[in-house]
Amino acid sequence: MTIICWDGKTLAADKRAVCQGLSRTVTKIRRFGNLLVGVSGDTEGMNQAMQWVSNGRNPEDYPAYLKDKDCKATMMVIDAGHVLIYGESPIPTHYEDKQTATGSGRDYALAAMHCGKTAREAVEIACLFETWCGNGVDELEV
């Protein structure tokens, strides 16, 4: 459960991870060369997705765990300003929207950005209303 936001310039995410009722603080966004990457969902999926990107995003090496329909990880990759969303397949969906968000706080964040807030501000607003989001904000700029 997460909120990851892209406002066309900045990728921002909350830092809360919850496992069996215990809240922990983690980093959900990273930079790999010119790529900005954020992952929502379970931590196992997050770790495998980040490793796959770090290793070059070879479609043949897409982790089996991420292909599983029960895996709840979604990855957002910002590549030269393009938003690529990965789910159960190494073939991404290309979002053409200037602003986008993923995770359980998505709707709050999209509304905030629609009203002129930055990605960071949108994450902060989502964290006010979405129980599964919080523990601070990380942000990366292109």
- Compute CA distances 76 → 4, 49, 103, 129, whole Å: 8, 10, 10, 22
Higher pLDDT, 21 or 85: 85
pLDDT digits (tens, 9 = 90+) for 102-120: 999 999 999 999 999 999 9
Which of these, 63, 85, 90, lies nearest to 74 by C-alpha position? 85
Checking if the pLDDT of 126 tops 80, the result is yes
pTM for the complete prediction?
A: 0.94
Quick one: DSSP state of residue 46?
Answer: H
Helix ranges (DSSP H) in 7-118 = 43-54, 64-67, 106-114
pLDDT digits (tens, 9 = 90+) for 3-53: 999 999 999 999 999 888 899 999 999 999 999 999 998 888 899 999 999
Give me the domains of the chain, ranges plus CATH numbers: 4-134 (3.60.20.10)
Residues pairing with 86 in the sheet: 75
Is the torsion defined by CA of 46, 128, 102, 6 positive or negative? negative
Each residue of 48-71: b (16+ CB within 10 Å) or e? bbbebbeeebeeeebbeebeeeeb
CA 72/CA 56 separation, integer angstroms: 22
